[in-house]
A and B are shown apart, each in its own frame.
Chain A
Amino acid sequence: MVRFVVRRLLISIPVLFAIVFLVFAVARILPGDPCVATLGERATPAQCQQFIRRFGLDKPIPDQFAIYLQDISRGNLGTSIQTRQSVTELIVERLPTTIELSFLALVFAIAVGIPLGIVSAYRRNSVADVGSMVFANIGFSVPVFVLGYGLAFIFAVLLRGTPLALPPSGRLSSGVEVLPLVEVWNLETLTGPARSLLDFISGMYIPTSLITFQWEGLIDSFRHLILPAVALGTIPLAIIARITRSSLLDVMGLDYIRTARAKGLRERLVLIRHGLRNAILPVVTIIGLQVGLLLGGAILTETVFNLAGVGKTVFDAIEARDYAVIQGFTLIIALGFLLVNLIVDVLYAYVDPRVKLA
């Protein structure tokens, strides 16, 4: 197992390097002048020169790349030209929302998708099966932003005033706040990476309010994420349900299932211990693949529901040609994606020992 993980990590290194280079290159060939974009159309050439020197934009491209590599190895991702904030700071501030949103969406997709697939496969061609698959087909085809606005309209307008009403935008209601961990635990003098880590966790309102018993904040922040998570999770849900169904159908037709039944095992055990255990492999792979889809969809979802996450930040940065932010965030997204794929591969090797031998 250790050897497998090490080998898998080694394979990731060239890919990692390629990602860094690609991100760097793309941000360099962006059209438009970052000076004019930042200082405005009326910036004088002298102001621009000073600006370009300050951000190292006058050095040759290879030098810029060398500086870039050096910087990221020290965790320095540059400074946003727009807000003058360091990109690392911006990531600490914005990434938690996206993680919370994507995680909740994935939980929703798995928690509904797998049971739906199981029922569908087990009661093949029944009303439940046909119904779930029609639902899955539609869910797979509806764009995140269409579903998002549809849900927002239903739950914020049509159901306004009923207990089912849900907030259609933002992360918290006005007047409600979730105190950061450093404040709750009286650690405000803390600095350095530990502080960043705590601030990062504090950005995720649901876990923070949960471990610090801020019940009002917990309920409010959860309610604000329900609609976005459902909108974002529906396409993965449909995919997971379909894969679970077809995989389980494959497995349930095999000889060892007949053997298990023949030896008098209860049907539920046949389904769970023999059927599901073997059918879950392709589902794990598919779940891993959904993470890329979720990150792309997060941009749309964050726009629809006005959430200040990674997606919205990248979009704003593109508008302003904020090189450092585009680079930093794309890098983080690609790294996150790489990491998740790594975890999925390791998980896969754990569930299916044959993989390790390959």
Chain B
Amino acid sequence: MTATAEPLTGAETLALGRESALWRTTLSRLLRQRSALVGLVLLVFFAFVAVFAPLISGYDPERPLIGIETDVRAVAPPCIHLLGCPADRSEHLMGIDSNVRDVFSRVVWGTRISLTVGFVTVGFAIVIGALIGAVAGYFGGYIDNVLMRLMDILLVFPALILAILIVTVLGRGLTNAMLAIGLVAIPVYARIMRASVLSVKEQDYVTASRALGASAYGILFKRVIPNALTPIVVAGTLGIGGAVLDIAALSFIGLGAQVPTPEWGSMIGLERNRVFAAPHLLFFPGIALTLTVLAFNLVGDGLRDALDPRLSR
């Protein structure tokens, strides 16, 4: 996982040796869990599909096939040569959607969107949330009070409802949907970071830095934050699946990705009235979405268990 490299950045040589050993044991523990391994394999597969989408897809995901191919019909079922589709017709593994586009190509390109969206959204929420939580936890007092009460207010709203309100204000679109889901997730990470910082700042090495005359910000960014990152990395990995899910949900109700973007949630939303006549139009993006979320959740669970052996069972 790329996440393993993160906490190393701020640490110094001595700490570096200790940290990388921790992450190496974590990785080996992670690989020993069957479910996490399944998740990792799925993730690698989807990452592969996302990277090589242009080579795999075969058709433009956004352009109708009219004029490109003869004898295409909207909402046609999958045509697979191996399964008896006549050889003189071109192959469409997942059929044709109601705008005469190749569903397989759209699902393949959708991988790129969903993976990007998941990482970027959670990354945004973690950076802002961690900063707020770290400042609140480290400085305490009224700063802590003000920041955390603000976070509490955000938490009073059910996440998806607040996200819908935010997108309504900002306007529809994938970027705004990502921003909304990211904003809604901030309090969760802020709380985790605050708790983590509260325990780290009592450590002897922090007191030692203070005694040596290091500045408050120097201590916060060089000593406290790097050592308080573990819980938030775990929460972040677990959060990616949820973020992918929520953004797909926003796209499904028309607030996220807009046509003709090949996003799985919006693909399902657009074809939802054809669920009985042409279920394949909903089925394939639905499966892809579920498997992606599952992969992130399995890896997140595995990472948590690997980092905190008390929890693993």
Contacts and interface: CB of A to CB of B under 8 A. Distances in A.
Contact of A249 (B149, B156, B158, B313): B313
A143 B156 contact: no
A249 B289 CA distance: 32
B313 A330 contact: no
A146 B152 CA distance: 31
- By secondary structure, the A interface counts as helix
A299 B159 CA distance: 12
B217 interface: no
B276 A156 contact: yes
Given A31-B171, A143-B289, A149-B268, A297 B160 contact: yes
Interface stretch (B48-56, B83-91, B226-234, B241-249): B241-249
Given A138-B290, A149-B275, A124 B169 contact: no
> Chain B CB within 10 Å — which of A145, A292, A299, A314 has the most?
A145
Interface of B: 35, 149, 152-153, 156-161, 164-166, 168-169, 171, 241, 245, 248-249, 252-253, 265, 268-269, 272, 275-276, 279, 282-283, 286, 289-291, 293-294, 297-298, 301, 311, 313
Contact of B161 (A15, A18, A153, A330): A330
Contacts of B160: 295-297, 299
A146 B249 CA distance: 10
15 contacts: A19-B157, A124-B313, A141-B293, A142-B290, A143-B248, A143-B252, A150-B283, A153-B275, A153-B276, A291-B158, A292-B157, A293-B158, A296-B160, A300-B249, A314-B161
B275 A141 contact: no
Contacts of B159: 292-293, 296
B234 to A, nearest CB: 15
B313 A246 contact: yes
Most-contacted residue by chain B among A14, A149, A153 (CB, 10 A) = A149
A318 interface: yes
Given A143-B245, A152-B275, A300-B253, A137 B294 contact: yes
B156 A338 contact: yes
Interface residues of A, number: 47
A304 B272 contact: yes
B161 A299 contact: yes
Nearest to B153: A18
Nearest to A294: B158
A176 interface: no
Given A29-B169, A140-B297, A145 B313 contact: no
Contacts of B289: 143, 146
A351 interface: no
A246 B313 CA distance: 8
Given A18-B153, A334-B157, A145 B165 contact: no
Given A19-B156, A137-B35, A30 B253 contact: no
A315 interface: yes
A15 B152 contact: yes
Contacts of B286: 143, 146, 149-150
A143 B249 contact: yes
A341 B129 CA distance: 23
B143 to A, nearest CB: 18
Contacts of B268: 145-146, 149
Interface string A246-285: 1001000000000000000000000000000000000000
A326 B161 CA distance: 11
B29 to A, nearest CB: 18
A26 B276 CA distance: 38
B293 A143 contact: yes
